Amino acid sequence: MDITEISGYRVLRQLGAGGMGQVFLVQHPRLPRQDALKLIDAGVSRNNEFKARFQREADLLALLSHPNIVTLYDRGEYDGRLWITMEYIAGTDADELLTTRGRLPIDLTQKLISCAGSALDYAWRKQQITHRDVKPANILLAIDDGQIEAVKLADFGIAKAAGESTTLTSTGMTVGTLQYVSPEAIEGHDVDNRSDVYSLGCTAFHLLTGQPPFAGKTMTSLISAHLNQDAPSISDVAPELPEALNPVFAMVLAKNPDDRYQSCGHFVAALAEATGSEIADPTCAQTMSAIPARIPKRTAYAPTMVGKAVATDRSGGTPPGSSRGAMAALWTSLAVIALAAIAAGFLLTRGGSESATPPPVSTTTPTTTSTSSLTPSTPTTAAETTTEVTMTQEQIVPGPVEGMPCDPSTDGQSPDATLHCSGMTGTWRDLTHQSNPTVQWNEPCFEPGARARVQNTDALVTCQLLPSGEGYTWRQ
């Protein structure tokens, strides 16, 4: 049955749906304003632990008021389902810019990172809140007549106040999210603002080069990369970028939080100094220039781990050239708290598509009869052309990665038999179950149908609804 009204909010249209609920564009019942409303599924909403955490997180978000943070308006319960309303941003996000336009210019990247960094530093300074899910998809751009009117950081939904429990679950974690997660968050340690500094560094690297610093098909491979591998030199990935950026990213992506910039503002200042760009106004509220046209893509680069991270003055400023070894990483639990359900994607308009899917990669193989250039240096007519060139174009469909949407009706596996299409989530999942953290028998869980290994055993359990209907636990 179609939902037409939720607690007085008139539903205008559905913006999206995910594993834990639906997102709607709604009309405020009393104000001339449209909001984004996230409606959590009933099965999850019935879990008392989740409900308490949901309400606590909403209260934390309500304490944040900043021009670069998506505003929380209201929360409540409708027909046994929790809901939350937030500021609706009509525009796009940095991840979609990467998909449609390729890597971003230095000046635009500097502005986006400045705005996001300003929001993160504010949240830490005011309420000791960390974001924990900083990535391009959560940097929203309000667009009007081709101009960027505002930049907003979304999805503080998995934010935690300092000192709260850091017990995590696998809800909402995908390969796309893991590309930006700090080593200490992966290991389940208590985190502070420097975890967000690391994630902001990964985001800036992706915006400038068109690819994240660490790549991997599965969560397991990405976890290993964050914990054990040094990030590639950014000027090796994108030779057109200044080499002065190399020590900046070596520091911001250091494995040990003590060796990173100690605030986002320090990283932003170092980024501006290395590129010669301006630091955006602290509030980032001014109208920015129009979004640029697509920057041509370069030849694909396979990251090569180089050297050791370069340590710099941790208070910010010009990084000197001393080096350090990467922190020896231990494998422990991975995951994210249950309020990951408040996803950034539902907060914006994307031309009718709620999740941008990267286009198939095209490779062109030229076959020539001479060594002449494919593009003549001087204009010629067809009759004057002496070099015969035959172009063969092959469309390559990207292979599935964990967390990517799939068609459950196919009940298929990936070509290498490492992933299967989950009928519960409609996404590709790791057949080996190595991506999920180990769990304990009858421990509460929040992702119906999820699979995991029992701690210190080889037994596999599933997140199942309790017979009472009141929540989910790990059971066989």
Residue 326 and residue 228 in contact, taking contact as beta carbons nearer than 8 Å:
yes
Give dist(CA 68, CA 46) in Å, integer: 33
In whole angstroms, how far apart are CA 17 and each of 41, 249, 443?
10, 36, 27
Q: How far apart are CA 276 and CA 433, in angstroms?
A: 46
Q: Dihedral of CA 410/416/417/419: which sign?
A: negative
Backbone angles phi, psi at 72, to 5 degrees: -90, 130
- What does the DSSP assignment read for 451-466? EEEBTTS--EEEEEE-
Kindly tell me the burial class for residue 426, based on how many C-beta atoms sit within 10 Å of its own C-beta (0-12, 13-18, 19 or more): middle
Which entry of 35, 121, 133, 259 is annotated as an active-site residue?
133
Task: Tell me the C-alpha distance between 270 and 317, whole Å.
Answer: 6
| Helix spans in 128-239 (H) | 175-178, 183-186, 193-209, 219-228, 234-237
Return the CA Rg of the chain: 23
Residue type, 217: K
Q: Which residues pair with 345 in a beta bridge?
A: none
- The strand ranges marked E within 139-273 are 139-144, 147-153, 160-161
Evaluate whether 126 touches 310 at the Cβ level (below 8 Å).
no
Q: Can 133 be counted among the known catalytic residues?
A: yes
**N-to-C CA span, the chain:** 33
Please state, in angstroms and rounded to a whole number, the distance separating the CA atoms of residues 372 and 395. Answer: 26
187 phi/psi in degrees, rounded to 5: -80, -5
The answer to whether the beta carbons of residues 454 and 438 sit under 8 Å apart is yes
Tell me which residues are annotated as active site. 133
